[in-house]
Chain A
Amino acid sequence: MKMKALLPALAAIFTFSIIGLGTKYLGLLFPALSVPFCLWPFILLSAIESAYFATYYLGPRTPSLWRLIELAVWLVPVYLLSGRSAEPFLRNGFWVVSSWLMARGYGSQLSFMERVADHLGDQGAQTVNWEYESLASLDSDHAPLKYFWRRFFGYGGVIAILAMAFHAKIGDLHGEDVLHLRLLGSAAVASGLALQGGAYLFRLQILWGYAKADVHPSLARTWLKGMAVLLLVLVLFINVAPVDYWPLTATRISTMLRNFVVKGPTVSMPPITSDEKASRLEEDPFWFFPEDVALGPWGFILAFATLIVFAGMTFLLVSVIGLVALRLVGHELEKLRGLPKLAAQVYLGLRESLRILLGMMRNIRVGPRPLGRLPNVSELGEVTKSKKHTESMRKPRGVRAMFRRIAKVAKKKGLAFSPSQTALEYGKTLQEHFPEVARAVQEFLDGYQKVRYSDRELSESDQSKLLEVGAVIVEEIERWKGE
C-alpha cells in the first residue's frame, strides 16, 4: 500500500479521536455542550473527506466556491439534524467544521511535502547531507514533519487539560463513558503516532525517489507491520496491563490537581446531578429524529442516510453543471476556469468511473459450478487434480481478462509483464519464447488491441474466436518447462 493513500486515513482517525475526546470531556463538564450520537459519523466522515481531498486535489487554485460547496454538504444535514434552530446548529456545526479544518491541515501538509520535493528534487538529492537536513527540517519553510509533532503534542495537551479539569471538577467516571473515552484515547494515541511515523516514511520515500535509491519494495509493509505491533502493545499496555504505572495515571494527577484546586480559588459551577445528565439531550429538541432514536443505532443510520442523499444530490448537480459547461465549450476542458472546470472534471471522473465499473462487470468471471454428488475420500486426489486442470483451462470471460490470464500464466514461467511494456512488446517476448504459437499470439494481440483501444466492440463470434486462440496460448505456456 502506498503511504500517501494511508496517511489521510490516519489523519482522519486522529482528528476524529481528538474531536471526539474534546466533545466528550466538554459534554461531561458542561452538559449543555454535549454532542448527540448522530453527529459522530459526520465528524468522522468530514475528516476523511477533507483529508483525502486536501491530499490529492486541493491547491491554491481550487476555487473558493468549491470549498463553500464542500462545507455546505456537511453543514446542511447538520442544520437539519439540529432541529433547524440556531443554537444547536452552531454548536454541532462548530465540531463538524473543526474536524473538517483539522483534517484539511493534515491533508494540505501531506500535499505540501510532495511539492517541496518537486521544488528541491533537482538540487542534488543524491547527497546524504541534503537528505539529512531535509529530514531534520531545520528550515521552517521546509518543515512538514514538525507540523505533525507540534499538533500531536498540542492536541494532546488540550485533551490532557480537559481531562484534568474533568477529574478535578467531577471525579471518577463509570459505565459507557469510560469505554468511549478509553477507545477514543487509544485511537488518538495509536493514530497520532502512526501518522507521525508514516509521515516520516513518506518523506523518506519522496527523497529516495528523487535520489533514485534502491529501496526494497517491501520496506513500507515491514515498517507498517512493525509500527502496528508497537502501537498495539502500547495500547494494550495502557488499557489492560495490571500495572500501577505511577505517576502517570490520570487519576493520580487529577487527585493532586483536585487537592490543589480545592485549596485554591473555587469556580462557582453547579454540581451535576445524574438526572440532569440523563436529561441533557432532552433539552435539544430534534426536528428530524425522535429523541430516543437519535441516541441509538437508528440515529446513526438516519444521519448517514441524510448525508449520502445530500452529498449525492450535490455530486449530481455538480456533474450536471460539468456536463453543461463541457457542452458549451465544445468539450475543450482547457477553456474552462474555476468552478465550471472543477464541475467538468467531476463529471468526467464520474463518467470514467462508470465506464471502468461497467468494463469490470463485463469482465467478471462467473464460472458455473457443476452440481453433483460430493466426491468420496478415495476419489479426492483425482478430483483435485481434475479440478486444477479444469481451472487452468477455464476460459476467462472477455478478451481483456484472457490477456491478463496469459500474462499471469507467463509470469509463473518467469516471463513477467513489465508496466512500461505495451501489449505488442510483451507479445514479441512471448513469440520469442513460444515460436509454435507466434501466429496465434499475433492474432490474439491484434484482436486485443481492438478491444482495448478502439471505440468499437468486437462481435460475439470474433470474441469467442479470440478466446479460443488465447486458450491455445495459455495451454502452450503452461506446457513450457523452461530453458
Chain B
Amino acid sequence: MPQFSVSDVALFGEQMIRNISKVMVGKETVTKRLLIALLSDGHVLLEDVPGVGKTMLARSLAASCGGSFCRIQCTPDLLPSDVTGLSIYNQKQEDFVFRPGPIMAQIVLVDEINRATPRTQSSLLEAMGEGQVTVDGATYDLRKPFMVVATQNPVEFEGTFPLPEAQLDRFFLVLQLGYPTAEEEKEVLHRLQEEHPISALAPVTEPNHVAQLQEVVARVHVEESVRDYVVHLVRSTRQHPQVQLGASPRGSLALIRAAQAAAALDSRDYVVPDDVKFMATSVLAHRLILKAESILRGTTASSIIGELLHQVDVGVEGDL
C-alpha cells in the first residue's frame, strides 16, 4: 500500500477542484470546503435557493471520486426503510433477505432533506454519526469513504420539517453556494449549451485513496496554542449575549479536523490559526441557536462568528 503524505492531499485537492470546475463555474472556495468535509470524514448540508447548483455540486463530487453514488429525493411520504433498506421475504430461499437502501452508497445526496418527516430524517442519524445502519436488529457497516451531502432550501417553509438540532449538529459543514456573477453565469450558459459536462466527468481518484488521505489528514500536527484558540473560540460562542445555545464540544472537534484538512490541502503538515479562521463560520454557524430577539434584530449566526473571530485572542506571540 503506498504511503500518502500531505503533498498527495494537496495534489488530490488540485485535481478534484479542477475536475469539478468543469461543471461548477466559479465555486472553487465552496468546492474546497466540500473537499475538506470529505477529507475530514464529515457530512455537508448545502443550504441555498433552488437552481444554484447544489445537486450538481454533489453529483460532480461523487463522479470525481469514483465512488458509488445514490440520490434520495425527500418527500413527506418517504419512509425510513426507503433510506436504510429493508428485509424482504424470498420465497425461493424461504428466508428474509436484506435489500440495501440508497444510504449504502459512498456518496449520498439527500435532496431537500427538510421535506422528509422527522422520523425519516432521524433514520439518517445513525448512518451519519456511526457510519453504520441497523435494520431488523442486524448492523451493516457503511463503506469508507462515506459522505452525506444534503440540500435544503432556506426560503420555502411550507410543508417542510426543520432539521432537529441533534441532526444539524451532525453535519460537519453547512455551505452556501450563492448566485454566480454575471461573467460566471454567462460561462455556465456557454458550457451547458450542447451537452451537460457532468456526463463526461471522469473520476480523478479512487475511493480507497480517499480513505487513506483521510488518515493522512488526521495526522496533521496541531500545536497547543492553535488548540487553545479553537477552545476559546468555541467557548466564546457559549458566552455570547446574543446566543441562546453555543457550539458543542463536537463543534470544537469538527473545527480542529476541518483545520487539519485545510492545512493538508495547502500542502502543510501543521495547522495555522488561519486554517481555523477559514473554516470557523462553515463549521460553527449552524451549531448556534440565537436568541429570539437577536433573530428579530436581523443578527445571523455567521455574523456572530465573524464578530468573535475579530475578538478572540489568537495567541500568536502573547502580548506584542
Contact = CB atoms under 8 A, between A and B. Distances in A.
Interface of A: 118, 121-122, 125, 210, 212, 352, 400, 403-404, 407-408, 411, 416-417, 419-426, 449-450, 452-455
Contacts of A422: 272-274, 277, 314, 316
B222 to A, nearest CB: 8
A424 B309 contact: no
Interface string B293-320: 0000000000000000111111111011
B271 interface: yes
Given A122-B241, A404-B320, A420 B226 contact: no
A14 to B, nearest CB: 30
B251 to A, nearest CB: 15
Contacts of A420: 309-314
Nearest to B241: A122
B49 to A, nearest CB: 32
A453 B223 contact: yes
A170 B277 CA distance: 72
B112 interface: no
A400 B225 CA distance: 14
Contacts of B221: 453-455
Given A122-B241, A421-B316, A422-B314, A453 B271 contact: yes
A407 B320 contact: yes
Nearest to A348: B224
A212 B240 CA distance: 11
A403 B270 contact: no
- Interface size classification for chain B: 20 to 34
Contact of B269 (A403, A425, A454): A454
A10 to B, nearest CB: 24
Contacts of A403: 316-317
A428 to B, nearest CB: 10
Given A421-B314, A452-B223, A121 B239 contact: yes
A212 to B, nearest CB: 8
B226 A453 contact: yes
A417 B314 CA distance: 11
A5 to B, nearest CB: 14
A404 B270 contact: no
A341 to B, nearest CB: 16
Nearest to A209: B239
A408 B313 CA distance: 18
Contact of B313 (A210, A416, A419, A455): A419
A22 to B, nearest CB: 41
A122 B313 CA distance: 22
Given A403-B317, A453-B272, 14 more contacts: A118-B239, A407-B317, A407-B320, A417-B320, A419-B314, A419-B320, A420-B310, A422-B272, A422-B274, A422-B316, A452-B223, A454-B223, A455-B223, A455-B270
Contact of A450 (B224, B270, B277, B320): B270
Nearest to B243: A122
Contact of B270 (A125, A408, A411, A453): A453
Given A352-B224, A420-B311, A404 B317 contact: yes
B152 to A, nearest CB: 30
A411 B241 contact: no
20 contacts: A118-B239, A125-B241, A407-B320, A408-B320, A417-B317, A419-B316, A419-B320, A420-B309, A420-B313, A421-B314, A421-B316, A422-B273, A423-B272, A424-B272, A425-B274, A449-B270, A452-B316, A454-B269, A455-B221, A455-B223
Given A420-B310, A420-B311, A210 B320 contact: no
A424 B276 CA distance: 13
Q: Which of A125, A212, A454 has most chain B Cβ within 10 Å? A: A454
A420 B272 CA distance: 14
Nearest to A423: B316
Contacts of B315: 419
A378 B274 CA distance: 53
A404 B318 CA distance: 10
A423 B277 CA distance: 12
A121 B277 CA distance: 27
A449 B221 CA distance: 13
B32 to A, nearest CB: 17
Contacts of A416: 320
Nearest to A422: B273
A404 B316 CA distance: 10
Q: Which of B221, B225, B317 has most chain A Cβ within 10 Å? A: B317
Contact of A424 (B224, B225, B274): B274
Given A403-B317, A420-B312, A454 B239 contact: no
Q: Which of A352, A419, A426 has most chain B Cβ within 10 Å? A: A419
Q: Which of A125, A407, A423, A453 has most chain B Cβ within 10 Å? A: A453
Contacts of A118: 239
Contacts of A407: 317, 320
A425 B273 CA distance: 10
A479 B223 CA distance: 35
A142 to B, nearest CB: 18
Given A403-B317, A407-B317, A419-B313, A454 B270 contact: yes
A418 B72 CA distance: 48
B267 to A, nearest CB: 12
Contacts of A408: 320
B306 to A, nearest CB: 11
Q: Which of A122, A404, A422, A455 has most chain B Cβ within 10 Å? A: A422
A425 B277 CA distance: 11
A113 to B, nearest CB: 16
Contacts of A125: 241
Contacts of B311: 420
A2 B150 CA distance: 48
Contacts of A425: 274
A403 B320 CA distance: 10
A125 B241 CA distance: 9
A427 to B, nearest CB: 10
Nearest to B277: A422
Q: Which of B223, B273, B311, B319 has most chain A Cβ within 10 Å? A: B273
Contacts of A450: 270
A318 B273 CA distance: 33
Nearest to B249: A334
A57 B277 CA distance: 30
Contacts of B313: 419-420
Nearest to B313: A419
A121 B241 contact: yes
A56 to B, nearest CB: 16
Nearest to A449: B272
A417 B270 CA distance: 23
Contacts of A400: 317
Contacts of B241: 121-122, 125, 210, 212
A411 B317 CA distance: 14
B260 to A, nearest CB: 12
B16 to A, nearest CB: 24
B231 to A, nearest CB: 13
